[in-house]
Structure 1
Amino acid sequence: MNIAQIIEMIDPEIYKNLTSAIELGKWPNGVALSQPQRELCMQAIIAYDVKHKPEAERVGYVANIGDACGNSKNAGETETRPVKLPDH
């Protein structure tokens, strides 16, 4: 069985359990995730998201500058301001 076949077997309930396991660091039965298990769960979640979710809803999606506040007028522009350090 390859990763593509495994991803096909993931349903929303399994997806929820995988994300919960990563967030809590343990399986629903209380057993801690090992580092390799955590990595495999993350890979499965990312692969599932690519197949089943629009880009903006995927794990790790970061909106473009300006999207968060709805102001894209100045997107890409940065303001330069001097830093003032206190005198000691």
Structure 2
Amino acid sequence: MDTEQLLSSMTPEVLERLNYVVETGKWPDGSVASPEQRDNAMQAIMLYQSRHNTSPQHMTVGAGGDITFKSKQELKRDFSGEGETIAKVKLSDK
């Protein structure tokens, strides 16, 4: 299978399964993935991300194949929700 065929056949479900294998070392049915399967899954994910990931997270492969790193300041802002108000709660001093 060539690269373009691989990418065109990767549905969101396939990508999710591959992510699961890389993260856990097991297939979703619970069977253990071989080191070669895990490596191949990671390579497929990185290839997919290099073509389709337009909003990469910290340490991912962005569109165009660039490895993207976010600074500590960017990560703190992303995780703090700076600029976003979800709810305000006033605590009483009882």
TM score, norm. by length of structure 2: 0.62
After the TM superposition, which residues 65-76 of structure 1 pair with which residues of structure 2 at under 5 Å, given as runs? 65-70=72-77
Rounded to whole Å, the distance in 2 between the matches of 1:69 and 1:18 is 28
Aligned to 1:50: 50
Larger of the two Rg values belongs to structure: 1
Aligned to 1:6: 6
The size of the alignment, in residue pairs, is 70
User: Conserved in 2, the CA contact under 8 Å of 1:21 and 1:27?
Assistant: yes
Percent of pairs with identical residues:
29
Question: Structure 2 regions of 5+ residues with no counterpart?
Answer: 61-67, 78-94
Matched, 1:64 2:71: yes
TM score, norm. by length of structure 1: 0.65
Higher relative contact order (CA 8 A, sep 6+): 1
Tell me the CA shift for residue 13 of structure 1. 0.6
Q: Which moved more, 1:59-68 or 1:29-38?
A: 59-68
Match of 1:30, SS state, is coil
Match of 2:51, SS state, is helix
Q: Which ranges of 4 or more aligned residues in structure 1 deviate by more than 3 Å?
A: none
User: Conserved in 2, the CA contact under 8 Å of 1:46 and 1:58?
Assistant: no
Instruction: Indicate the structure with greater strand content.
Output: 2
Question: Structure 1 regions of 5+ residues with no counterpart?
Answer: 71-88
